[in-house]
Amino acid sequence: MISATTALPSGRRRDRAALTVLTVWHAALCVLLMAGALATLASASALDLLTIALAVVQALLALGSATAAALILRRNHLGRTLSLVVNYVLFLACLIGLAHVLGLFMGLDDLADYMARGVPFLMGALFIVGYFVAATELRERPVPVARRTLGQVLMTIGAIGFALTAGVVPALASIPGKYVSSGLLPLALTAGAVVLGYMLWSMWRGESARAMGAKNIHSERLNGWLFLSPNLLGFTLFFAGPLLFSLYVSFTNWDSFNKRDWVGLDNYRRMFNLTVQPLAAPDQPANQAMDVQVYDELFRVNLLGQSYLIGAEDKRFWISLRNTLVFGLLAVPLAVVPALLLATLLNSRLPGMRIYRTLYFIPSVAAVVGVALIWQWMYNSQVGWINYFITSAVNLINSVFGTNIKDPQIRWLADSDYALLSVVIMSAWQWLGFNTVLFLAGLQTIPRELYEAATVDGANPRQQFFNVTLPMLAPTTLYVLITTTIQALQVFDQVFIVSNGTGGPGTSTLTMTLNLYQNGFQSFRQGYASALAWVLFVVIFAFTLFQFRRQRRASGAYDL
Amino acid sequence: MSYRATRIIRAVLIYVILTLFAAIMLFPFLVMLFTSLKTASDTFSYPPRLLPTEQVTVELPGFDRPLPLYYIVVESGETKPMALVEENIRVGIFAPLDAAGRPDVNNTVIRRFGEVKVAGGATPKEVVVGGQAVPVYEVEVNGAIAEMVVLTRTVFGRFINPANPNETAMANVRLSQPVTRVTAHPENYAAVVNLLGFDRALTNTAMITILTVIGQIVTSVLGGYAFARLKFPGRDQLFLLYLGTVMVPFVVLIIPLYQLMVVIGWVNAMPALILPWLYTAYGTFLMRQFFITIPKEIEEAALIDGASRWSILMRIFIPASAPALATLATFTFLYAWNSFFWPLVVVNTGNTRAQVLTLALNVLRGRASDSPNLILAGAAIAIIPPTIVFILAQRYYVESVTSSGVKG
Amino acid sequence: MKTTYRLIGLMAVAGLTLSACAAPVAPPAQPAQPAQPTQPAATEAPAAAAEISLRWRTRPDNKEEADVYASISDEVAQKLGIKLTYEPGGSETASYQDVLRTELAAGTAPDVFWIPGTDIADFVQRGLLLDLRPYANATEGYSDSNYYPEPMFHLTYNPATGKTGEVLWGLPRDVSTFVLYLNLDLINEAGAPDPRELAKEGKWDWAAFKEVAEKVNALGSDIKGYGMNAWWGPFGAFMNAAGGGFFNAERNACNLNSKESLEGLAFARSLYDAGVAVPYGEDSEPPFRAGKVGMFQNGRWATPGISTVTFNWDVVELPKGPSGHMGNWLFWGAYVVNKNTKHPEAAWKVVDALTQPDIQAKVAARGTNIPSRVGEAVFAEFLKIMPEKNNQAFLNGLADKPTAEGPLWTGSWPDFDKAMSAKVSDVLTGKLSVEDFGKTICDEAGKAFNK
């Protein structure tokens, strides 16, 4: 680094001039942005959320720009930070806008058009994968020079071939044409990006930093935000923003076409609207006991000799809630308990355990859609494997023990009593291997000495398992339980495939997520569907919290 | 029992249980692979067979088409492979009347209707059986003519012995066991690809997956580094917020995200399948956890040497974090390759330009609902690539799946 | 060395991204270029008309049909002198209509598209369809009466006035109706009477139908006499045949609890109770095609798939129920025009061209559809298609007072269907008695009318 004292006077003058330019730039930018905000508000035909948000963002940036100008004049280092932030945000906006206007994003489709023509893309893909594999392999062991050179030549040829066949050359050549055909906007955006880029560079330079009195810690802060910015952009645009918007939508009756009125809590009211009516007789028709114009019969219950009828305004919500909870209560233990058993066995340090571990893991990498199709075929009640195995087992038992057990001939996915169970089995099967590996990793962190001590104390394997393994495994167990529960409560792909999106037979596989999909994207009650989503969020949150709490109480020693 | 014997028994037991579970875990995939090589009609056979089979046929002189072979019990009681030469022969099962005038079900014979004639000549003879008048037929049994009534009517097939064309037999075709041999129909895969443009879906999925993996690695590495090694105001609060997002179910975002895509104009297009997924709280968290373990001293030494943060990240952190990168890449690969809900919402299933494999499968199961072999061939196309990636990367993947989660 | 690798890698990634920038190939689905305002005369002048580019979509049932539509698309495009792009659309399982609504909401929907009859009301009431009446009236040779009257009733219904004949939402692509697909081998083996003969003699009623089903069923434990699939069509046909139905005559109230509807349902249930039918909820087509079901109730769309079976098959009309009719459905769907199309005139021409007799004949030749036009010439042409022997069964079904698959103009059909189908499923799987069904069903399903 060059110290400030050695700088030439002429250089210092130039620095001062640069800062003056920046001050003027920010003042101008402030005016421009305020005008932009007003223009946005004025040009919008209706004041929707998007317009307001856009105007507010512009106004905020204008304010930031004005403050930056003032602070630069005072040579306050905050002015530098602010200037960089404002310019950076606008620079990104220009670049993204340019990409959008030039059709860069939509161009992905066209790119795929080209690539779909066959092998070239696969070549390219293999080449990229190969690069990463090679890049990671290189660190571990030295590769002979000859092979490395060969690899380089091959990769270069691959890259050139890929660029030619995948249409990179004509694509690049057509960019100038796009500028011409898309009017002034791309030119303006390019100019904006260039100017902003210059301003950024001008302020980022060490000379400007020194002139503004910025220290190392300040530049570390800026670096921090800079490194985080791509991530933060995604977080804001595709997570936080939509999350807030979703909350807003849940208070409206949006149908995604023309209706979007604020209805307050009406969606939630409708969802939770229940009625409990005493019945004169257990089989009294529902229309005599409650207002069937509003409510549908949910179920009947007998409490202390008095029958009650419980009705709900949105019956399908309650059914989906029940199905989801039942699914979770069945699938989670089924995917966790055998996993623990298998992990304990795999931890026995016998040869070949790695192979088993890999085999168990395979189902969890397969697409749920594909897996559901396989199981759907195996569940086929007439020619499917599962019923065949059951029939064979029953016949075997009957012939060996002379019993007369009847073949159940379960109709799995076609019977509303078994459909949910079928999905439970399928899902547990798919999640089992993942959980096994998690448990195995947890088991391997338990120190051997603990077992040796327990053996010395005379504990048998069972006692060891309950007194050493389980408590030591508590953090893993919690993690496994939470991830599996979150997954189970959001189950969608499986039920969508096996029930054709209906949640059938009857309503037996209608889960909350599927109900949400039906409301949001079949009936287009997007407001109501958003409310459903938030209720699902609360359910998941409650379950996670509950498991945390229980775990804390059970093993207070393990702070999580 | 000696200690050694106990140990061996224990090991055997462990292997037995593990193998049993391995069979359970693998069996559906075997079903998928073998079924995808069958013909459609072969998939419907009962009892189910794993291996694809087809019926053996023979060419016989005098017949213009190959004749299917069945195992038939001939008169001598032997079971022989015989060729079906004629189907749908209407036959009756005839029974003589016993002394009480009831049909004697123990002495039935099978005859074609062309071989018998109604007794009584011009005035057909009838008897009353079970309150109904039924015609009486003259049936030849062992050279003698007997009067019999029709018990039931059915259809039979005529079979001949290919080795000895004079030996014939009549039997119910449906209940006869066909002679089969193991075969394979790999052309099912080509059929699936042609049926729905699976090749395009495969390209799209590969492209989406690769771009998502690259994008997620870039944002996660940068973000993870910032969270792990750079001090800036609001860092810790923001990190907690990031962690909290893991709890938010995706469905909460689906409607606003969809509407966002509508506003931007990405509905039905590939950017909608890539760009929203470039940010990942999980990946950022994973990389941060890994970067934190790298000794601070190396970084400080580099800083003193005048290296920029960027070059420190590129030259020190990234080379050291191959296992974490591989894990993140594999995770993202699987997620992007297998995702279904979001593409279902945002891409029209008929739009082949932005079709992905899971959506194509969803369409396929409707369009090929009568050919499970094709559906499962499609499933295999969707399942095999991620499995290969996993097996290649499992060294890193399996071992570090947990490291982040359990610590947190 | 590493730098070289990195450089090459970066090059590839950058190339990938940059090439995304441009569209070197003219993509088929690229939004149309700003076109000149369409004048009727413009379609005649090829130079000006070449600017018009339209997209249309319909759901094919198989690959062959998709190919036929694609070739028809080219033919129509040539005839009209416009650019026409055909999009196949998803399959039945891939929620075709939901996707369309999603696209309409997003503004990416095609100009002309097909929707099933049940969805017309919903699309109209959401304001998504263009009224084609002015264009139709200006077209020579067009008449509502060229098509089956049942679909035209709904396609010309004006929800604002409650009158029919005023507007025109689209033209029917095709019609369809139920028949029983017969496994003649099984029926012969069981020694059961031939349903085709019984139908000819006028003796094909519920009793005869049940007798045949029972005889076939007796052939073995893996053989079933009858099979139908689990949706509203098959069980609705039984209700209709008994003289009942889903709705009242005005289609504004639930009729599921009427004596006749319940009688129809009870008969369907008796088939399941007796174990004669493939269990409800199970797809009956695979076992039928595997040769294990005697009679399979399905529409015309099942014909191409079934024609590949190895056993002898044919079709017969549905048996007549207590009402003296077979209670069949007239299934239909229509080509409609997106309200936001840039070229309404051209879009109408496409709709009109797609429903011309020669085009319909081409589609019908695939075996999946029945032309939506009426008239002796159309019928005669249709009878030449497989199964040649007995194609009349379909036309008989359409002639015997069928109920049109219908939208609900004063209610929500999806809500009605959801409430009804779930309960009927309970009845047919023996979980709910027909009486209990009758007591509660209209309270639940009836809510679809007071939304």
Residue boundaries of the structural domains of chain A: 4-102+182-214, 107-180, 274-312, 317-554
Say yes or no: A186 contacts chain C, CB-CB below 8 A: no
Which of C92, C185, C312 is the closest to B366 by Cβ?
Answer: C92
Report the C-alpha gap between C122 and C448 in whole angstroms. Answer: 13
pLDDT at C28 over 60: no
Contact list in A for residue C292 (CB cut-off 8 A) is 382
Write the secondary structure of A14-25 as one string of H (helix), E (strand) and C (coil): HHHHHHHHHHHH
In contact, A308 and A278? CB cutoff 8 Å? yes
Please report, for residues A341, A367, B18, B323, the alpha-carbon distance to residue B24 in angstroms, rounded to integers and kept in the order given: 15, 18, 10, 30
pLDDT at C30 over 50: no
Render pLDDT for B31-41 as a digit per residue (tens, 0 to 9): 999 999 998 87
Helix (H) or strand (E) holding C4: helix C2-19
Closest residue by Cα to residue C65 from C330, C365, C284, C350: C365
Mean pLDDT, chain A, rounded, equals: 83
The residues facing C179 across adjacent strands are C298
Q: Which residue has the higher pLDDT, A1 or C51?
A: C51
Residue B169 is predicted with a pLDDT of 86
Report the C-alpha gap between C211 and B394 in whole angstroms. Answer: 61
Which of C106, C220, C283 is the closest to B262 by Cβ?
Answer: C106
Contact list in A for residue C282 (CB cut-off 8 A) is 381-382, 411, 414
| Tally: H helices and E strands in chain B | 15, 12
Interface of B with A in 3-42 (CB under 8 A): 11, 14-15, 17-18, 21-22, 24-29, 31-32, 35
Helix (H) or strand (E) holding A242: helix A241-249
pLDDT band, residue A121 (cuts 50/70/90):
low
The residues facing C53 across adjacent strands are C83
Residue A254 is given by DSSP the state -
pLDDT at B182 over 60: yes
Mean pLDDT, chain C, rounded, equals: 83
**Averaged pLDDT, C178-195:** 92
pLDDT at A6 over 80: no
Smallest CA–CA distance, residue B140 to chain A, in Å, is 42
Interface of C with B in 348-407 (CB under 8 A): none
Q: Considering only alpha carbons, which residue of chain C is nearest residue A181?
A: C33
**Averaged pLDDT, A121-144:** 58
Say yes or no: A300 contacts chain C, CB-CB below 8 A: no
Closest residue by Cα to residue C177 from C241, C225, C266, C257: C241
Question: Mutate which of A382, A518, A519, A528 to disrupt the C interface (most C C-beta within 10 Å)?
Answer: A382
Residue C245 is given by DSSP the state -
Smallest CA–CA distance, residue A509 to chain C, in Å, is 11
Within 8 A by CB and 6+ apart from A141, the residues are none
Report the C-alpha gap between C39 and C42 in whole angstroms. Answer: 5
Residue C32 is predicted with a pLDDT of 33
**Averaged pLDDT, C386-408:** 83
Report the C-alpha gap between A195 and A308 in whole angstroms. Answer: 74
Preceding amide of A505 cis, omega within 30: yes
In contact, C228 and C277? CB cutoff 8 Å? yes
Coil, strand or helix at A450 = helix
Return the partners of chain A (3 or more C-beta pairs < 8 Å).
B, C
Residue C49 is predicted with a pLDDT of 45
Percent of chain B whose predicted confidence (pLDDT) is above 70: 95
- Please judge whether A342 and B227 are an interchain contact, meaning their C-beta atoms are less than 8 angstroms apart: no
In contact, B222 and A227? CB cutoff 8 Å? yes
**Averaged pLDDT, B52-62:** 88
pLDDT band, residue C22 (cuts 50/70/90):
very low
Contact list in B for residue C87 (CB cut-off 8 A) is 350-351
Residue C435 is predicted with a pLDDT of 92
pLDDT band, residue A2 (cuts 50/70/90):
very low
Report the C-alpha gap between B367 and B357 in whole angstroms. Answer: 15
Q: Considering only alpha carbons, which residue of chain C is nearest residue A108?
A: C20
pLDDT at B27 over 80: yes
Percent of chain B whose predicted confidence (pLDDT) is above 90: 16
Report the C-alpha gap between B36 and B384 in whole angstroms. Answer: 13
Report the C-alpha gap between A81 and A204 in whole angstroms. Answer: 9
Render pLDDT for B242-284 as a digit per residue (tens, 0 to 9): 888 877 888 888 888 888 888 888 877 888 898 888 888 888 9
Report the C-alpha gap between C408 and A163 in whole angstroms. Answer: 56
- Highest average pLDDT, of A325-339, B241-255, C136-150, comes from A325-339
Report the C-alpha gap between A23 and A133 in whole angstroms. Answer: 49
Domains of chain C, first to last: 42-174+331-389 (3.40.190.10), 179-327+411-449 (3.40.190.10)
Render pLDDT for B318-370 as a digit per residue (tens, 0 to 9): 888 877 888 888 888 888 988 998 988 888 655 667 788 898 888 888 777 77
Say yes or no: B203 contacts chain C, CB-CB below 8 A: no
pLDDT band, residue A1 (cuts 50/70/90):
very low
- Please judge whether C189 and B155 are an interchain contact, meaning their C-beta atoms are less than 8 angstroms apart: yes
Residue C34 is predicted with a pLDDT of 33
Report the C-alpha gap between A273 and C362 in whole angstroms. Answer: 54
Question: Mutate which of C7, C18, C19 to disrupt the A interface (most A C-beta within 10 Å)?
Answer: C19
Report the C-alpha gap between B64 and B58 in whole angstroms. Answer: 11
Which of B44, B172, B211 is the closest to C189 by Cβ?
Answer: B172
Report the C-alpha gap between A130 and A151 in whole angstroms. Answer: 10
Residue A338 is predicted with a pLDDT of 94
Coil, strand or helix at B371 = coil
Question: Mutate which of A105, A109, A111 to disrupt the C interface (most C C-beta within 10 Å)?
Answer: A111
Smallest CA–CA distance, residue B255 to chain C, in Å, is 11
Domains of chain B, first to last: 3-52 (no CATH), 54-182 (no CATH), 188-407 (1.10.3720.10)
Closest residue by Cα to residue B345 from B247, B278, B250: B250
Render pLDDT for A180-199 as a digit per residue (tens, 0 to 9): 777 788 888 888 899 999 98
Homologous superfamily assigned to A317-554: MetI-like (1.10.3720.10)
| Tally: H helices and E strands in chain A | 26, 3
**Judging by DSSP bridges, how do beta strands A306-312 and A274-278 pair with one another?**
antiparallel
Which of A148-152, B5-9, B100-104, C236-240 shows the lowest per-residue confidence on average (mean pLDDT)?
Answer: A148-152
